[in-house]
Chains A and B, each alone.
Chain A
Amino acid sequence: MIPSGATAIVGAAESTEIGAVPNMSSVGLAIDAAANAMSDAGIAASDIDGFTCGYFPVADMSRQLGIFPKWADNTVVGGCSWFFQLRNAVAAIHAGYCHTVLIVYGESGKSTRGLGQSFDAGQRGGTGQQFDMLYSGGQAAATFTLPVLRYQREYGLSDEELAVGAVSQRQWATEVPRATLREPTSVEEVLNSPMIAWPIRRAMCCLVSDAGGAIIVTSADRAKDYPKPPVYILGSGGALEAGVMSPGGVREPLRPEFIRTSGEAAFASSGITHEDIDHLMIYDAFIHTPIFGLEGLGFVNYGEGGHFIAEGHTAPGGKLPMNTSGGGLSYAHTGAYGMLCMLESIRQVRGEAANQVADVEIALCHGWGGYWSACSTLVFGASAP
């Protein structure tokens, strides 16, 4: 097993602008974020010998940035691709394949809805294209959310209780200058927002935004020489379960095993317990995903996640601060939001978040890919054990 804290993040940045950035392509947003991350780390392309980007042809992007990597990866599993790539980068650095990896992401999700062709879940003859996408046209709000009604009925979670998740995250977002939605909201307002796919209303769905993000990771030894305090990678997990375009392939939809698998690996490899976690990010593509994350990761028992959020425990002042940027619902959501989720965790550990939680020593970040095909869990720490 890779020792906890063997690697650390030494550069991390978003694109200069996020939200609506019509003058930049997905590639442009990625390059902007990469430049910002290199500046944050105080290095140039020549200092980087490992590269991964996911949604673009990896060689096109590395060449454009002037990086000539000895190691490359392009694992694409949807919105948590960058979680998987960071895990792979940690392993590659530990194995000695390279010493410093740049992970790059950009998506003009709002202005051009344009991604590279390397992630085409709807390719003709593919499983999703043949058996899942025709029913909803592939609409995430109608398909990714399919387990919600079952959860509500099984565990007695009312629409009002479900809606609290959006209100809590907006409470966080009101204090975040870069958040897209900063006006306080209410359960009534959430439940009066337009119906998209009953029982899912618009305020329960993520935003559609433009943004880029980039992360630079290196060995713990090297990390000490960088300008910013290192954010150590203490542990990680990851797992796949359903096909890409429907949660129908999850064997127990109310107790998804892939979440448990990813979480258990992250806790075991980092050697921490739930009580050690000061700050939590759970990718919120829709209002229900943090509920399933809280349960699958073991913060609460099955059936308790919805009520836990409804009781305010994840909101400002709660015992488990979660999605403190405002998340996909209020901060920004590009399409594959995982990178932005990781960057908020990193900012919190560095102590430079807009909504800084006091004394964040350990932060856990959990992301999803596809409509429940993948997930990954990362544990970041301010110090190595």
Chain B
Amino acid sequence: MPHPLVPVPTPETQPFWDGCQEGILRINKCLTCGSAYFPPSPICPECSSTDVEYFDASGDATLYSYTIQQKPFFLWGSEGPRSVALVKLAEGPMLTSSIVNCEQTPEALQLDMPLRATFVPFDEITVLCFEPAEQQS
């Protein structure tokens, strides 16, 4: 059995995780009020409508705030410091993530810097992280 903190999809969240596998940030949108929201859910947290769908988000985001964990969670497989971040998607929702593919320093991680979604291996699955938008992938 995988480590207890390796995410386990549910039927309701499976499209998000399938998106991670495909390299696409797939989140929910309410067809009644138009809100984009996260985490995935069969009900819109803004208006209570269940007329909701998944859509492919732009992957564009900005860095709202962060910490730099000195001893990262071992499943990331590296010793060095690692960011934990609040990321604001261009579509509105805030989510918890990490900023990767850049120095894990206060100098390299500037608040409000533009980010884009990237998908990285975590144990045996692929998970959502973000990288600086100017970074060549």
Using a CB–CB cutoff of 8 Å, the interface residues on chain A facing chain B are 122, 124-125, 127, 129-139, 141-143, 145-150, 153, 194-200, 243, 246-249, 253
Selected from A125, A148, A200, the residue in CB contact (under 8 A) with B8 is A125
Chain B, residues 15-58, CB within 8 Å of chain A (1/0): the string is 00000000000000000000000110000000000000000000
Decide: A136 near B122, CB < 8 A? Known: A131-B39, A149-B111.
no
Closest approach, in angstroms, between the C-beta of A231 and any C-beta of chain B? 38
CB atoms of A248 and B86 under 8 A apart: yes
Which B residues lie within 8 Å of A124 (CB)? Answer: 4, 8
The 4 A-B residue pairs whose C-beta atoms are closest, nearest first, are A137-B73, A150-B65, A198-B68, A197-B67
Complex alpha-carbon distance, A147 and B67, angstroms: 9
Decide: A253 near B8, CB < 8 A? Known: A137-B75, A139-B69.
no
CB atoms of A148 and B65 under 8 A apart: yes
Which B residues lie within 8 Å of A134 (CB)? Answer: 5-7, 73, 75, 122, 127
Instruction: For A124, give the chain B residue with the smallest CB separation.
Output: B8
Closest approach, in angstroms, between the C-beta of A8 and any C-beta of chain B? 39
Interface size bracket, B side: 20 to 34
Complex alpha-carbon distance, A248 and B73, angstroms: 19
Chain B, residues 74-85, CB within 8 Å of chain A (1/0): the string is 110000010011
CB atoms of B70 and A197 under 8 A apart: yes
Instruction: For B12, give the chain A residue with the smallest CB separation.
Output: A125
Which A residues lie within 8 Å of B67 (CB)? Answer: 141-143, 145-146, 148-149, 197-200
CB atoms of B69 and A197 under 8 A apart: yes
CB atoms of B86 and A130 under 8 A apart: no
CB atoms of A130 and B9 under 8 A apart: yes
Complex alpha-carbon distance, A127 and B42, angstroms: 13
CB atoms of B68 and A197 under 8 A apart: yes
CB atoms of B65 and A149 under 8 A apart: yes
